[in-house]
Chain A
Amino acid sequence: MRPSFFHHLHPPSIPARQARFRHTLASGGLAVFLGLVLGITGILEIFYYIPTPGEAALSIQTLTFLVPFGGLIRNLHFWAAQSLVIVSSVHLLRVVFTGAYLPPRRFNYLLGMGLFVLAILLDFTGYILRWDEGIRWALVTGTNLIKSIPLLGKTLYGSLVGGTEPGAATLIRFYGWHIFGLALAAVLLVAWHIFRVRRDGGIAVPPPPLRETQERISRVELVRREVLVMLLASVALLLLSVFAPAPLAPPFTATSPLPESVRAPWFFLWVQELLKLGSPFLWGVIVPLAILALITLIPYILPKPIQSEIGHWFPKSNRLAQVLFIIILVSLLVLTVLGLLPVSY
């Protein structure tokens, strides 16, 4: 059998050791798959979603309850999105912990960080598109954070919100960002990112003399493994979608009661906790950007892994980077857990 187009998108063979599930955790490939699921389910949602304040939440209710399999498509979209944020984080962790960011892969690391930011922004804009009682404060605080930036704040706010306060213009702009602006940027970056993976020599490995084995797997076998992961991931997403429906609250109107729970979406709970400390610009813009910058600059400012150790987990040479990453991860997790605790005044 002659390998197909999809087979040829993959390298002819890759080292068997690094092709193992326990090496990559299938995280990169899974992220691409989740992106695909998001694109397909997203387009299907476009057929029913109406991006106006009066109709948005109601159109989601129509989709969820009245359109055949509409609820399933919405839940798939929701869980694929949340899983993407987690899987992307796992992929980032894997890259740092296997030292796979040495040049020539260093630029691809930056592309990946860009994709990570896009995933978060897509998650947030998608959350706002619900336009139900639950998103109200996230919209207000999120946009006001932009306003808190000195000098540029007001202009950025105006471009983002389309007015002096969140309203119909904001919804349609967020819709535009979500289905096109951010999505297009993500597609371009994914294509570039995958191209770079192949151009930079595929999965990071030690140089041939230093490998334990020269064993490799063919592109056909690699595709088989990917197909397996995609099938299992599909089953997992479907089961999640059936047993854990995406949240939905009554539409947000001028007469809506104040929501009982004022929690940020889960991926911003850590920012919500930080904001309890004081200045919005410092804790809501500077500190998160600083954390992002720190992670982005790992390949540039911290001791680099040596060539002989990359392609394995926990190389000794970039231990500092691993430690820093763990500290940041644990801090964010702790902040997130704090944000999940019941509020007491």
Chain B
Amino acid sequence: MNEPKLSRRDFLKLTRTLLLTASGLLGLGGLIRFLSYPSQPLAPTEFDLGPASNYAPGSRTVLPDVPALLVHGETGFTALSLVCTHLGCTVESQPDGFACPCHGSRFDLLGKVKRAPASKTLVSRRVEIGPDGKLHLFTN
């Protein structure tokens, strides 16, 4: 008869530890799910900009609610997100592009990074004209 490698006391201790660890993990999982519930409405992803006729050809309009810049160019409407790609502040429109007041990032008129700390180009936003002649901007 071999001596048991694990004494009764150690076996009980191991079982206890395993059971409590499993319970702890279940509890932790539940806690994470509990904390992840979005208790405020999600940000809108579609914006009604009003009639397209409000924006003259050649105009560049800052839309502070989005935030984005709406450009009525020769080929139609385009929009550039004004959310700085570094940490999310709203960039300010400048004659030669955009400047972020938070950490000094600079972008050119097309949104490309001119100066760090930002490293990614400003995101383009999709703009569509609805059947009622109203412009809709999408952030998704």
Touch between chains A and B, by CB atoms below 8 Å: yes
* Top 9 closest pairs, chain A to chain B, by CB: A68-B33, A67-B37, A69-B30, A69-B34, A68-B34, A48-B39, A67-B34, A68-B37, A62-B39
Chain A CB count within 10 A is highest, among B33, B34, B35, B36, for: B34
Report chain B residues within 8 Å CB of A72: 30
Within A37-61, which residues are at the interface with B (CB < 8 Å)? 44, 47-48, 59
Interface size class of B (residues with CB under 8 A): under 10
Chain A 241-277 interface residues, beta-carbon cutoff 8 Å to B: none
Could you tell me the distance in whole angstroms from the C-beta of B9 to the nearest C-beta in chain A? 11
Q: Which residue of A lies closest to B36 (CB)?
A: A68
Task: Give the chain B neighbours of A73 by CB distance below 8 A.
Answer: 34
Contacts of A66 in B (CB 8 A): 37
Tell me, rounded to whole Å, the shortest Cβ–Cβ distance linking A103 to chain B. Answer: 41
- Bound: A48/B33 CA distance, A: 13
State in angstroms the CA–CA spacing of A248 and B27 once bound together: 25
Query: What is the minimal beta-carbon distance from B39 to any residue of chain A, in angstroms?
Result: 6
List the A side residues contacting B34 at CB < 8 Å: 44, 67-70, 73
Bound complex: CA A208 to CA B121 (Å): 82
Q: Closest residue to B33 on the A side, CB-wise?
A: A68
Residue numbers in B under 8 Å from A48 (CB-CB): 37, 39
A59 cross-chain contacts in B, Cβ below 8 A: 39
User: What CA separation (Å) do A72 and B33 show in the bound complex?
Assistant: 13
CB neighbours of B37 from chain A (8 A): 48, 66-68, 70
Q: Which residues of A contact B39 (CB under 8 A)?
A: 47-48, 59, 62, 67
Per-residue CB proximity of B10-39 to A under 8 Å, as 1/0? 000000000000000000001101111101
Q: List 13 A-B contacts (CB under 8 A).
A: A44-B31, A44-B34, A44-B35, A47-B39, A48-B37, A67-B37, A67-B39, A68-B33, A68-B37, A69-B30, A69-B33, A69-B34, A70-B37
- 9 new A-B contacts, CB < 8 A, other than A44-B34, A68-B33, A68-B34, are A44-B31, A44-B35, A47-B35, A47-B39, A48-B37, A62-B39, A67-B34, A68-B30, A68-B36
A72 nearest CB neighbor, chain B only: B30
Task: Give A67's nearest chain B residue, CB to CB.
Answer: B37
Which chain B residues (21-63) contact chain A, with CB distance < 8 Å?
A: 30-31, 33-37, 39
Residues of B within 8 A of A67 (CB): 34, 37, 39
In whole angstroms, how far apart are the Cα atoms of A210 and B35 in the complex?
56
Q: Complex Cα distance A72/B37, Å?
A: 15
The CA of A47 and the CA of B35, in the complex, are separated in Å by: 8
- B23 to A: closest C-beta gap in Å: 9
Instruction: Give the Cβ gap from B83 to chain A, nearest Cβ, in Å.
Output: 27
* Chain A proximity of B10: nearest CB distance (Å): 11
User: C-beta contact mask, A108-133 vs B, less than 8 Å → 1, else 0?
Assistant: 00000000000000000000000000
Residues of B contacting A44 with CB < 8 Å?
A: 31, 34-35
Distance (Å) between the CB of B8 and the closest chain A CB? 16
Expressed in whole angstroms, the minimum distance between the Cβ of A155 and any Cβ of chain B is 38
Q: Which of A303-327 contact B (CB under 8 A)?
A: none
- What's the nearest-Cβ distance from chain A to residue B18, in Å? 14
User: How many whole Å from B51's CB to the nearest CB in chain A?
Assistant: 36
- Considering the chains assembled together, what is the distance between the CA atoms of A72 and B31 in angstroms? 11
Q: Which residues of the other chain, A, contact B30 by a CB distance below 8 angstroms?
A: 68-69, 72
**B36 proximity list for chain A (CB < 8 A):** 68
Give, as a whole number of angstroms, the nearest-CB distance from B37 to chain A.
4
Question: Which residues on A sit within 8 Å (CB–CB) of B31?
Answer: 44
Q: What residue of chain B has the Cβ atom nearest to residue A40's Cβ? A: B31
B32 smallest CB distance to A (angstroms): 9
Q: How far is the CA of A338 from the CA of B103 in the complex (A)?
A: 70
Q: How distant is the Cα of A59 from the Cα of B40 in the complex, in angstroms? A: 11
